[in-house]
A and B are shown apart, each in its own frame.
Chain A
Amino acid sequence: MKLAVCIYEGPYNHEASDTAYNFIQAAIKRGHEFKGIFFYHDGVYNVTKLMEPPQDDRHIANRWSALGATGIDIVVCIAAAKRRGIVDEVLVPNVRISGLGQLTMMAIEADRLVVFGD
């Protein structure tokens, strides 16, 4: 199945980012294809390289970056990012800033768009 994921919540503060990540890993193992991952609302904070969590904890931004390195398109909403001070310079690699049109294309092209957040 063609899937897409939209994440609404920031890292560490909320389980949405972790749950989405685990969902994606499990779905890939099952052979599903991802049309993209879109960060919206406070979700845009998930992919800043400025985060520096304790070393014995998961590094959420690096985890998303590694997933992006496998070829999955990871997009940060520009409108939500600008509002929150997230710009190209602070992004981890393999992630890009773009518009809500990308989320629209994911919603149209994916068989299921799965939203994680409150």
Chain B
Amino acid sequence: MAEEVKKIMFTVRKPPHGSIYVYEGLEVKLIMAAYDADISVVYMDDGVFALKKGQNTKELGIKGFEATYGALVDYEITKVFIDRESMESRGMTEEDLLIIGEDEDTEEPITPTVVSSDEIAAMMAEQHNILAF
């Protein structure tokens, strides 16, 4: 008997650079998206910086991953959310958000969806499991 598809959420709360958590966390998302699970990702706290466009890690001498973020939709990671309060308290606006893919039909660029902490709490309550990075 087919079981219902499990909802698995990732939270990203750490800044994208300075530690490897966010980068290796991205690798987990890309793999899990290939499985039969309902994947969503929420960026909050310093994690919102991971969704800032125009990142350049050249001077840091490390491999950046902004390009992979640009292909999240291609990896079938379409439920990408960012916490409004975390974003605004760090001086970021929707204009700062990078593109995570494009709409299959309209070819319109897709950016992360800005949500409130109440909306995040409601989504969290529905999850089977949550992984934090």
Contact = CB atoms under 8 A, between A and B. Distances in A.
Given A107-B8, A108-B35, 8 more contacts: A41-B24, A79-B24, A100-B28, A101-B35, A103-B31, A107-B128, A108-B36, A118-B14
A112 B6 CA distance: 12
B24 A104 contact: no
B123 interface: no
A21 interface: no
Contacts of A107: 6, 8, 32, 37, 128-129, 131
Size bracket of the B interface:
10 to 19
Interface of A: 6, 8, 40-41, 79-80, 99-101, 103-105, 107-108, 110, 112-113, 115, 118
B126 interface: no
Contacts, number: 49
Nearest to A41: B24
Nearest to A114: B129
Given A100-B32, A107-B6, A108-B37, A79 B27 contact: yes
B71 interface: no
A108 B8 contact: yes
A99 to B, nearest CB: 7
A41 B37 contact: no
B37 A100 contact: no
Contacts of A104: 31-32, 35, 37
A112 B36 CA distance: 18
Contacts of A115: 131-132
Given A101-B35, A108-B35, A41 B129 contact: no
Given A101-B35, A104-B32, A110-B129, A8 B8 contact: no
B31 to A, nearest CB: 4
